[in-house]
Copies of this chain bind each other. A is one copy, B any other.
Amino acid sequence: MSIQFSKIARTPAYRALASAITEQILDGRLPEGAQLPTEAQLCEVFGVNRSTVREGIRVLEEAHLLRRESAKKLVVSRPSTEQTSHQFKRALLLHEVSCSELWEALIALEPAMARHAAQRHDEQLIAQLRDNLARTAETLSREDRTEDLDIEFHALIGQMCGNRALMLAREPLSSLFYPTFQAVLNRLPGAGLRMLEAHTEIFEAIREGDPEAAQLWMHRHIRDFKRGCEMAKLDMNRPIAAWENGA
């Protein structure tokens, strides 16, 4: 019988350093906002050269576990919603996920979020929603950037439902849909008005604290959108593409 050997794991020092710090962050020994030692001190602690330390820090910065607060203050951080959502978006983009895949995910999430939003009463967010509707009505007459207000409307509902897991999952999907929104609104004359009507119904349901109605109208709204895509002759099976303001 022969002895079994497994491959020797050759971990570079910069990676070992990054892992060591990551571990301390994840188990709470390094809490959010804690300031890290200087590069020179890290050299001593880990017994490696500054170049190596710096490579390790790059890794952690990109993972958003560290960030620079000022030019020479490196602190422990937690990945922000935007950062996480940005990573998610990029992955979906590179995998060339199709519009229908996105849409199927949205129609699962958005109605649920509207439902939860209706169960909360946040006067400030209700006011923001009202304001959003007013601006939408106004821009409709000018045929101008309506899609931005659509995105905003749904984002506000996301905030209102107060569920970070849902928010984190929804935001990238919604934002990747932007070019499609744009296309539908441009090609279908009645789409903007129809959108405003649906938004209004959803808003009313949320304001009155009626989860069922909010969910139902949101479901209709999203379903309608797909119909809009079909009427605008958009190919839902084509992969989504990045749009200028953020990939």
Chain A residues 80-113 with CB under 8 Å of chain B are 83-84, 87-88, 90-95, 97, 101-102, 104-105, 107-109, 111-113
* A139 located at the interface, meaning its Cβ lies under 8 Å from any Cβ of chain B in the complex: no
* A63 located at the interface, meaning its Cβ lies under 8 Å from any Cβ of chain B in the complex: yes
Known A84-B91, A91-B79, A164-B92; judge A62-B51 contact (CB<8 A): no
- Specify which of B62, B90, B105 is in contact with A165 (CB 8 Å cutoff): B105
Interface 9-mer from A1-9, A34-42, A53-61, A195-203? A53-61
- Specify which of B32, B91, B113 is in contact with A168 (CB 8 Å cutoff): B91
When distances are taken between beta carbons in the complex, the residues of chain B under 8 Å from A102 are 165
Q: Are A166's CB and B59's CB within 8 A? A: no
Q: Are A101's CB and B63's CB within 8 A? A: no
* A217 located at the interface, meaning its Cβ lies under 8 Å from any Cβ of chain B in the complex: no
* A159 located at the interface, meaning its Cβ lies under 8 Å from any Cβ of chain B in the complex: no
When distances are taken between beta carbons in the complex, the residues of chain B under 8 Å from A14 are 58
Chain A residues 13-35 with CB under 8 Å of chain B are 14, 26, 32
Copies, count: 2
A54 to B14, CA, bound (A): 11
Q: Are B104's CB and A164's CB within 8 A? A: no
Chain A residues 131-164 with CB under 8 Å of chain B are 163-164
A91 to B169, CA, bound (A): 12
A214 to B107, CA, bound (A): 17
- Specify which of B55, B56, B87, B104 is in contact with A84 (CB 8 Å cutoff): B87
When distances are taken between beta carbons in the complex, the residues of chain B under 8 Å from A207 are none
* A183 located at the interface, meaning its Cβ lies under 8 Å from any Cβ of chain B in the complex: no
A-B contact pairs, 13 of them (CB 8 A): A14-B58, A58-B62, A59-B59, A62-B62, A78-B91, A79-B87, A88-B168, A92-B165, A92-B168, A104-B166, A105-B163, A108-B111, A165-B173
A58 to B56, CA, bound (A): 8
- Specify which of B62, B93, B109 is in contact with A108 (CB 8 Å cutoff): B109
